[in-house]
Chain A
Amino acid sequence: MMVALSVAPAVASEPARNTDGEARRVVILNATDPYLPAFLALDSAWREAIRAGSKAPTQLFAETLDMSRFPQLLFDEDRVALLRKKYRALKVDVIVALAPIALDFAQRHAADIWPGAVIVFNSVPVSDFDSRNLDPRTIGVPNQLDFGPTIELGLRLRPNARRIAVVAGTAAPDQRHLSHAKAWLARHAGELDVQYLVGLTLADTVAKVQVLPKDTVVLYLAMFRDGAGVPLVPRDVLEQLAAASPAPVFGVFETFLGHGIAAGSIASFAAQGRQTGELVVRVLNGEDPAAIGVQAPVTPGCIADWLQLRHWGIDESLLPPGCEVRFKEATLWDRYRWQILATLALILLQTALIAWLALSHRRLRQAQTAAQQEHDLRRDAETLATRLRDRLGRFSREQSLGAMATAIAHEISQPLIAIQNYAQAAKRRLESNVDDKPKLLELYAKIEGQAARAGTITQRVRSAVSTSDLELLPVSLAPLLDEVVRIMEPETEDRGCHIVCESAADLPAVLADALQVQLVLVNLLRNAMQSVCSSEGFDKRVFIEARPVDEREVQVSVMDRGRGVPPGRVADIFEPLYSSVSGGMGMGLAISRATIEAHGGRLWYEANPTGGAIFRFTLRTARP
């Protein structure tokens, strides 16, 4: 709230003139209570402006007249004497006079107390200057108290209001404000029902306000002193009034905001203080005060208290355009902006973290899946490889031995069937007694042809394993044996068998068709495994042994500890179509023997002295 002030300077001896480099001095002459909210707002604003703008070091002094609570005239002389004494030795450049009382005091006594000082006033209503004579060394920022526009604003926000209640105290500023307001209201007489609550005790004032009709616009001017002469802080009074009032209260002072007024046409104290400080700076920096002169007042503008608007149910849209709305704390955003930002940041961070984790997790899972797939693929590939190897093994076996035997059997059966048919046809023709000699001759010729065909097939079988078709090359036997063991591996595992391969270190290369020899070995190994691995109770190992016999021969043995071959059957096993094993064509050993013999070697059977079978074959060494 705005307050009136007065100043009581003391008279000093002739102070030294200010020179460049010397400190500048400013005395703040406050007519009011030093803790008056309005003063604090103004004071900090101009101190800030002076500190920022003054070229020379500047000392600030504060004098409080507190004239509201202590009637000025009573202490005037003593104050002046005291201040004169106090500032006797100091050259003061500027007196900042706050409010009309302080300006009055300064105008009366500044020449005595602070000779040569320029007076810069503040918070003096524009209307005062009609009756005030100012010398050129007195400049300042008057204030414009918009009681009229505030009433208009009140009526705008309360469209249904039919009456105005004006509340004011009895102190000088209270009365000054009241006269301003009355002047405005007088110009609008007849339109409104105006009630003045002035000169009452605070308690009575509150009581009167309490019973006001709801359609009232309450204009609170200020109450520095009530009807009983009790000094008051206008803002504290406002709080009581606002608490009691059934209708919104309006006022013109910025410091009332947040303490009970709903809105008002208000000039910012900070702006007024800053402007005042800037005037001080100009003077301190050497400008001629006469050239500066009295400034235009800071223009008041609509300012509303959002909480009050909400409290009274006033629609914000009723506010005039450009109206500043304060305390819009309802938005959590305003109150907790940083907390919200921090929280949001935290949430974002967490979200990002979670997202990152989720992403990582997914990537991990993808990686795992990929790894799993790769693993599966590899496993499939291995399975496939095993199967292929198995098939290869079977292929090599069947293709050349079993299947070859089957193919041979089929090949031979065809001409045999034909021979049989031809023979029967001839026989029937003979039996029918039809003399058709050419036909019979033809049939016999065909029989002969088919017999020759059968002969050719057997010839072909023999030649398939004869030297002429074999590619005898120097072959290193050890790797060949390893290869066979590897080919047999899947089958070996399936049967739970184990092939033990021992080859002599000084094994010479042999002359062999590697594939054919491998097939022989596969055949022998399979026989051995069928013998020992298909039934329980046998040593499930099959041994391969390779060693040189002499310079010309190498001997390879395939041994098992199965049943062996019954002594009476040894001669039969190398006969075609003999098989001790069901499912085989029995051609294996015969062809194997033929193959080895085609290599210039021998293949034979020996009973294993420890039980089981031994098949041995020899191959010629590659030595010249």
Chain B
Amino acid sequence: MTHTERQTVFIVDDDAAVRDSIAELVESIGLHAEGYASAPEFLKAFQPERPGCLVLDVRMAEMSGLVLQERLNALGAGIPVIVLTGHGDVPMAVEAMKAGAVDFLQKPYREQALLDSINAALSMDTAARRSKAAAETFEQCLATLTTREREVFDHVLAGETSKEIARALEISPRTAEAHRHNLLRKFGAGSAKELMSMLASSDKEE
């Protein structure tokens, strides 16, 4: 599973000291940090599958944080973004939130607020990736079903018993039971109830 990879806090700030100090702060609580001096530099290195979150200074010379957010949105990257704004940049903060930032912090900020925000963002990323992965797994399992199993699957999700399924599909209860067993095995589910909850968690993502 891909989401087992270590999470990274990506820091984009054009001030080297600020960037580095945030990285130090993040690393002081045992997280992994990577700094980028500009938005284009980050975009170049960016890999959507890498889990983590982005700490972004909204006011940068080459490409503003807002523009970077737009680019990321356009790429369909779900990485959570925390925006750092200067004093009095309320309108920009609003824009950042509109663009999908999970949080914004005004400088000067308390370091604890930043760390809390980072932790929350990482959790969101983890959850999102997990449900996305679940959905993908679910889809993969679904693809391995035979036509008959697929029919049985629909009835199982409808909460029907093997007997009812056998009657509906005009097959013997034993055969129905066999199909049911096989498809639960393919999904790695212990029961029909578990299968339904898997479906629910994958739906949540989609």
Contact = CB atoms under 8 A, between A and B. Distances in A.
Interface in A402-421: 410, 413-421
- Among A424, A426, A446, chain B packs the most CB atoms within 10 A around the CB of A424
Contact of B18 (A414, A424, A428, A443): A414
Contact of A418 (B18, B27, B28): B18
B20 A418 contact: yes
9 contacts: A418-B17, A418-B18, A418-B20, A421-B24, A422-B24, A425-B21, A426-B28, A449-B17, A450-B21
A421 B15 CA distance: 13
Nearest to B108: A417
Interface in A386-441: 410, 413-422, 424-426, 428-429, 432
A182 interface: no
B175 to A, nearest CB: 61
A453 interface: yes
B194 interface: no
B25 A425 contact: yes
A446 B27 contact: no
A424 B20 contact: no
A410 B57 CA distance: 13
Interface string B19-41: 01110110111000000000000
A453 B17 contact: yes
A414 B15 contact: yes
B21 A417 contact: yes
Interface footprint category on B: 10 to 19
B173 interface: no
Given A417-B107, A418-B21, A449-B17, 5 more contacts: A414-B17, A414-B18, A418-B17, A425-B27, A450-B21
Contact of A446 (B21, B86, B87, B111): B21
A90 to B, nearest CB: 130
B85 to A, nearest CB: 12
A425 B24 contact: yes
Contacts of A421: 18, 21-22, 24-25, 111
Contacts of A422: 21, 24-25
Interface of A: 410, 413-422, 424-426, 428-429, 432, 443, 446, 449-450, 453
Nearest to B27: A425
A413 B108 contact: yes
Contact of A420 (B15, B20, B28, B108): B108
A410 B20 CA distance: 18
A420 to B, nearest CB: 7
B107 A424 contact: no
A586 B24 CA distance: 35
A424 B25 contact: yes
B97 to A, nearest CB: 22
A413 B21 CA distance: 13
A543 to B, nearest CB: 36
B111 A424 contact: yes
Nearest to A429: B28
A432 B31 CA distance: 14
Contacts of A450: 17, 21
A25 to B, nearest CB: 125
A186 to B, nearest CB: 120
Contacts of B111: 420-421, 424
Tell me the dominant secondary structure on chain B's binding face: helix
Contacts of B107: 413, 417
A429 B28 CA distance: 6
Nearest to A449: B17
A446 B28 CA distance: 14
Contacts of A428: 25, 28-29
A443 B17 contact: no
Nearest to A410: B86
A429 B108 CA distance: 22
B30 to A, nearest CB: 8
Contacts of A449: 17
A428 B79 CA distance: 27
A443 B111 CA distance: 15
A421 B115 CA distance: 11
B115 to A, nearest CB: 9
B16 to A, nearest CB: 9
Contact of A425 (B15, B28, B108): B28
Contacts of A432: 28
A77 B108 CA distance: 157
Nearest to B22: A421
A432 B15 CA distance: 28
B24 to A, nearest CB: 4
**Nearest 10 A/B pairs, CB to CB:** A421-B21, A418-B17, A425-B28, A418-B21, A425-B24, A424-B111, A428-B28, A425-B25, A421-B25, A414-B15
A417 B18 contact: yes
Nearest to B30: A432
A451 B25 CA distance: 17
Contact of B28 (A410, A419, A424): A424
B108 A443 contact: no
Contacts of A446: 17, 20-21, 24
Contact of A416 (B24, B29, B108): B108
Contacts of B22: 421
A237 B27 CA distance: 142
Contacts of A425: 21, 24-25, 27-28
Contacts of B87: 413
Nearest to A436: B28
A418 B17 CA distance: 6
A432 B24 CA distance: 14
Contact of B17 (A410, A415, A424, A429): A415
A418 B107 CA distance: 11
A428 B27 CA distance: 10
A370 B135 CA distance: 71
A415 B17 CA distance: 7
A80 B21 CA distance: 158
Contacts of A418: 15, 17-18, 20-21
Contacts of A419: 21
A249 to B, nearest CB: 106
A421 B105 CA distance: 14
B19 to A, nearest CB: 9
Contacts of B28: 424-426, 428-429, 432
A415 B108 CA distance: 11
B204 to A, nearest CB: 35
Contacts of A413: 87, 107-108
Interface in B52-111: 86-87, 107-108, 111
A300 B88 CA distance: 118
Nearest to B87: A413
A416 B21 CA distance: 11
Interface in B113-171: none
A408 to B, nearest CB: 14
Nearest to B16: A418
Contacts of B86: 410
- Among B21, B22, B29, chain A packs the most CB atoms within 10 A around the CB of B21
A255 B54 CA distance: 122
A443 B22 CA distance: 12
B143 to A, nearest CB: 47
A144 to B, nearest CB: 112
Nearest to B24: A425
A413 B18 CA distance: 10
Contacts of A420: 21, 108, 111
B13 to A, nearest CB: 9
A398 B130 CA distance: 52
